[in-house]
Amino acid sequence: MDKGHDLTAFSRTVSASSLRGRLTKLTGAPLRPVAALHASIDFVPTKIPRKRRLQMMVVAVWSVLLVTSCFVFLMLCSIPALWPFLVMYLIWIFCIDKSPAYGNRLAPWFRSLKIWQYFAEYYPASLLKECDLPADRPYVFGYHPHGIIGMGALATFATEATGFSKAFPDIKPHLLTLTNNFHIPLYREVIMALGISSVSRVSCSNILSSGPGQAITIVVGGAAESLSARPGTADLTLKRRLGFIKVAIQHGADLVPVFSFGENDVSDTFFRSCALSTAFIRQIYNQMPNEKGTTIYALQKKFQSMFGFTLPLFHGRGLLNYNLGLMPYRRRIVSVIGRPIHVQRCEKPSLEEIERVQRMYIEELTRIWNTYKDEFAKTRLRELSIVD
């Protein structure tokens, strides 16, 4: 009886000692993935100039503005006293307001606010003008590449942060985006004040027909091109994009190619391995590898076919670190606005005429690349490529 009791006590002592030893090992040697993640995160220093903090704050607010607008609207919906007003507001959005198709809600004072200067200086984003554009005709700006989100397009054509109106007096730019964005309460009011309009054919026609000096900016590559955004590359989805050229011919609007150096470098590829690597931090965002034939690419294309847009899987930097979060990296963006391609107005242009103008457009776009690639794309991995 006593021997059995002693054996049990001894076993407990051994078990307790063994457990204590194992806990000591765990405490001294943390889990490898956690240790690797902690070691690879580059945290921001405590002392940062106030101006840089303001730049980061403005970009952070813009990055979550869409989600924040939805959250605020849902919070307002929780207040019964506001329901009649919210119902009227929704009726106004979906049934009455046609402003997204006309671009008539542009507010110059809002585009000129100091906050947009901070937004552009964050990267920094700038504009390079090659020639004057007379305000006696309409214009169609074709913006390349799309990148993940198109931050350079926003800074250049939706704000005065890069000095667009000073460079091109009396030209009224309208950056175009998906119509679905104008169905989001509150958010739509902000982007319309910036002059952003719907990318529908009706909207393009309305704006270009409203008088000389009117201009639309189309990020030509769209969702398909955003999936191929990689640092050091310039793969443009352009061969089969004829719609914007046809619209320009129908309205006698000059075509102006715009190549934004650094747009693809504002992002990076998502996690290519378990541990983060600073070698990947060379663009505004990091996108998960999604080459053609992969399951991710197939799912993204399916999503695009169903909803008209796609969702690149990406990451960027955070508020308190430089390599893990959803904010874009600080990468220089230079939008080169090239020479206009004059077109003769024709309401029903032939396919041959459209393709002829497209060849001229691609030639001008290629010239821009060849002229400035050694200055603004020194770290490129390959040359400009025109794909589907």
In contact, 174 and 103? CB cutoff 8 Å = yes
Q: Is 17 exposed, middle or buried (0-12, 13-18, 19+ CB in 10 A)?
A: exposed
Residue 290 sits at φ, ψ, to 5 deg, of -140, 50
**β-bridge pairing 197-198 and 235-237:** unpaired
Show the tokens assigned to 10: 């001894």
**CA proximity to 63, closest of 261, 285, 217, 260:** 285
Helical residues (DSSP H) of the chain, grouped into ranges: 2-28, 32-40, 50-63, 65-77, 83-91, 108-111, 114-122, 151-157, 164-167, 187-193, 201-208, 222-226, 243-250, 295-307, 351-376
Cα–Cα distance, 361 to 245 (Å, whole number)? 9
Q: What residues does 177 pair with on adjacent strands?
A: 198
Q: Which helix (H) or strand (E) holds 255?
A: strand 254-261
Per-residue pLDDT of the chain (388 residues; tens, 9 = 90+): 454 555 445 444 545 566 556 545 544 444 454 445 455 777 888 888 999 999 999 999 998 999 999 999 999 999 999 999 999 999 999 999 999 999 999 999 999 999 999 999 999 999 999 999 999 999 999 999 988 788 999 999 999 999 999 999 999 999 999 999 999 999 999 999 999 999 999 999 999 999 999 999 999 988 777 777 777 888 898 998 999 999 999 999 999 999 999 988 765 544 333 333 333 334 555 555 656 667 666 776 676 666 666 666 666 788 888 877 778 888 899 999 999 999 999 999 999 999 999 999 999 999 999 999 999 999 888 899 998 7
Burial string for 137-161 (b: 16+ CB within 10 Å, else e) reads: bbbbbbbbbbbbbbbbbbbbbbbbb
Cα–Cα distance, 182 to 177 (Å, whole number)? 9
Whole-model pTM: value is: 0.81
